[in-house]
Amino acid sequence: MIKMAFFDTKPYDRIWFDRLKDDYGIKIKYYESKLNSDSVVMAKDYDGVIAFVNDDLDKSTIDTMVDMKMKLIALRCAGYNNVDLKAAKNKIDVVRVPKYSPYAVAEHAIGLLLCLNRRIHRAYIRTKDFNFSLNGLTGFDLRGKTVGVIGTGKIGQVFIDICRGFGMKILAYDIYPSMENVEYTDIDTLCKKSDIISLHCPLTKETKHIISKKTIEKMKPGVFILNTSRGALINSDDLAESLKNGKIGGAALDVYEEESDIFFEDRSSEIINDDTLRILLSMPNVLITSHQAFLTNEALENIARVTLENIHSYFEKNTITNKVEG
């Protein structure tokens, strides 16, 4: 039987993996710890690991896995910026889940936009205290507004379709344009013309800090920024400063640049030593969720099924499916 070590386990992770693992002849050992150079030793005598976005698969971790004769890193996510692919090349194979539910992420992005724009999160808190004042809750009509979409893969395409349903105008930017009937433009033009900018691209050398002081200066005053992709697409300090001076009218974030040691955990009884995050959370025009855009039943089932299929194909069929190339 194939043996895999599953790291950074949460209760919602286990539901579909437990239902499906026997169908693929895979034994899973669950660990709550994140995978890193210290915890990787717990996977000794296993064939590979099942890892998530905040596991640290750096050179040290990968070298230890290779020394332990492990053969596969199975990412249960689409992103792989946390993997040192150079260290893994020709030593250990890496597979991923390239898509699980573009609807889950795109719909969450729309939910964030609606909530931020109409101040629903603030209204909810007020009415819980029997405060029914409408002061400070004014939003704007989405119809007729221009939304700039950075990244037009599966998620970006679904997001665009939803925005069209609201009667919004679409501008798009992508290094590899893939949609028809969409107006593609350069990043500067997108920044200048968009009332709302939503990020749906992977994190690469080219896209890191694609939203920074340089691009923010070109944006309309009062622009809204949405990010449901990767935190490091935005320079967090530049974002915070632009929110403080009013250049950016609001930000809705499901990801954060320095989230790896914070998100997915209950930190309510701790002091968070991240001044930028604390500033962002203190602002009334900022809405932050904890990387939950993917979290639907449909997405969790697809993540489990594709991950298990990737593992089964690798060990039983000698076929590498959804391989991440270094």
Q: Would residue 121 show up in a list of annotated catalytic residues for this protein?
A: no
CA 74/CA 308 separation, integer angstroms: 9
Q: Would residue 108 show up in a list of annotated catalytic residues for this protein?
A: no
Q: Would residue 267 show up in a list of annotated catalytic residues for this protein?
A: no
- φ, ψ at 28 (rounded to 5°): -120, 130
CA 280/CA 277 separation, integer angstroms: 5
Residue 124 corresponds to which tokens in the numbers above? 């909810």
Cβ contacts of 180 within 8 Å, gap of 6 or more: none
**Of 230, 257, 309, 312, which one is the catalytic site residue?**
230
Q: How far, in Å, are 41, 243, 247 from residue 12 at the CA level?
A: 25, 34, 39
Q: What DSSP assignment string belongs to 138-168? A: -----TT-EEEEE--SHHHHHHHHHHHHTT-
**Of 259, 305, 309, 312, which one is the catalytic site residue?**
259
CA 51/CA 207 separation, integer angstroms: 23
CA 149/CA 144 separation, integer angstroms: 15
**Of 96, 108, 119, 291, which one is the catalytic site residue?**
291
The C-alpha angle 96, 158, 117, rounded to 5 degrees, equals 115
Q: Which amino acid is at 65?
A: M
- φ, ψ at 77 (rounded to 5°): -160, 170
Residue 282 exposed, middle or buried by CB count within 10 Å (0-12, 13-18, 19+): exposed
| Residue length of the chain | 326
User: Any idea which residues carry the catalytic annotation?
Assistant: 230, 259, 291
